[in-house]
Amino acid sequence: MNAPPFLAPFACRAEQSRGRLHPEAESETRSVFQRDRDRIIHCEAFRKLKYKTQVFVYHEGDNFRTRLTHSLEVAQIARTVCRVLGLNEDLAETLALAHDLGHTPFGHAGEDALQEMTADFGGFDHNAQALRIVTKLERRYYQFEGLNLTWETLEGMVKHNGPLVGMAGAKPLPQAIVAYQATDDLALDSYPSAEAQVAALSDDIAYNNHDIDDGLRAGLFTIEDLKDVPLVGPVFAGVKREFPDIDASLHIHESVRRLIGLMVGDLIDETKRRVAAFAPDSVEAVRRLGQPLAAFSESMRANDKALKSFLFQHMYRHYKVSRMASKAKRVVRQLFSLFLAEPDCLPPEIQAGHDRDDPLDRARVIADYIAGMTDRFALDEYRRLFDMQITP
């Protein structure tokens, strides 16, 4: 299927895709990017996002965001922005839905612990893990490992924050990306498509605002605490002035709704300004621009930085969150240490997936196993292995 005719000249077009590593017959009803989206939605790693958390562990409440609900919110924002800018909504939605596939249980606390435990075995990076999932670990097709996604989707997953090589301060490439790069060159020295850039900024918009929402509802900070935060404080104050008798819950909903609208509007306006200034005439022109095409304005970047600083101090480092993060890290560390020292404790299907005489391979398989756990499964596995009163 061809892309709709209203796409901007610098948008990704399905009919111009670089294709898949393993050639397949095209669908009669869906574009290649729609197919990618559907493969992600139907894969096991995507379903697990339901019980993987952002900040709060799953049992702390049903109303807090999970990786799954967050991904859906990112997809909604990305589609809105792309529709206004004439970009490919299907590709942006695909990248939004896929961007958290590689995350561990227990949010960033779990990832920090797994990075620590794998430091001598190649390390752990959630973006690289997402690539590993969609190119190797998902087993749904007889003909190939992984999901056989298009080049554009893989590029966007890996480079959504910009080039990975050739930039000042670039970090060493994770092994999973190095391994795949040897098979299929993802042009790691260039920026990704405009759709990937929009998906990355939609992620920022979603998590900043839902962390305000979740943090307020969890009682980690108050609306009064937000009064001096640029953009956020004035929006909350404006809602209160407009609706003096509004209850706290609706006050939060209305303010967060307006904040998302302001950030989305800024992203659209600044990107339009850059399009007018740089006049990219192709996807390749976007990739070789040397700077992002999709971006917030300078003032919104300052607002974003101030909000992140507030959330870091009042939410991510709140003692209640720190206590849960500490427990989560101990769970991950102890699971990894036990499995590395006693691989016979791994489930048979996991044991069969590694070379028993290769400690590096064993560590990689253990990292895959733990990273693929939901919060709930990780806690259950921990109890099965360390609680003498529970049957293994």
Average pLDDT over every residue of 297-315: 96
pLDDT recorded at residue 59 = 46
3-state secondary structure of 146: strand
**102, 99, 111: which is closest to 331 by C-alpha?**
111
Residues 309-312: contacts with CB under 8 Å, at least 24 apart: 310/226, 310/229, 310/232, 311/208, 311/211, 311/212, 311/215
Measured CA to CA, the distance from residue 341 to residue 8 in angstroms comes to 55
pLDDT score of 46 more than 70? yes
Range among 3-12, 105-114, 356-365 rated most confident: 105-114
Measured CA to CA, the distance from residue 372 to residue 138 in angstroms comes to 11
pLDDT recorded at residue 63 = 60
pLDDT score of 357 more than 80? no
pLDDT recorded at residue 3 = 47
- Count of beta carbons in the 10 Å neighbourhood of residue 160: 23
Average pLDDT over every residue of 293-302: 98
Residue 306 near residue 33, CB atoms below 8 Å: no
pLDDT score of 93 more than 70? yes
3-state helix, strand, coil split of the chain in percent (to 5) is 60, 0, 35
Q: What is the pLDDT of residues 122-152, one digit of tens each?
A: 999 999 999 999 999 999 999 999 999 999 9
Measured CA to CA, the distance from residue 247 to residue 243 in angstroms comes to 9
Q: How confident is the model at residue 264 (pLDDT cuts 50, 70, 90)?
A: very high
Average pLDDT over every residue of 13-35: 95
Q: What is the pLDDT of residues 222-249, one digit of tens each?
A: 999 999 999 999 999 999 999 999 999 9
Measured CA to CA, the distance from residue 375 to residue 88 in angstroms comes to 34
pTM for this model (two decimals):
0.94
Work out the percent of the chain whose per-residue pLDDT is above 90: 81
Give 135 or 5, the one with higher predicted confidence.
135
pLDDT score of 272 more than 70? yes
pLDDT recorded at residue 270 = 98
Average pLDDT over every residue of 25-43: 96
pLDDT score of 100 more than 70? yes
pLDDT score of 327 more than 50? yes
| Domains (range + CATH), the chain | 1-392 (1.10.3210.10)
Widest distance between CA atoms in the chain: 69
pLDDT recorded at residue 57 = 47
pLDDT recorded at residue 62 = 55
Lowest mean pLDDT among 170-174, 223-227, 333-337: 170-174
Lowest mean pLDDT among 170-179, 183-192, 222-231, 296-305: 170-179
Average pLDDT over the chain reads: 92
Residues 6+ apart with CB under 8 A from 374: 48, 50, 51, 52, 58, 105
Measured CA to CA, the distance from residue 69 to residue 195 in angstroms comes to 21
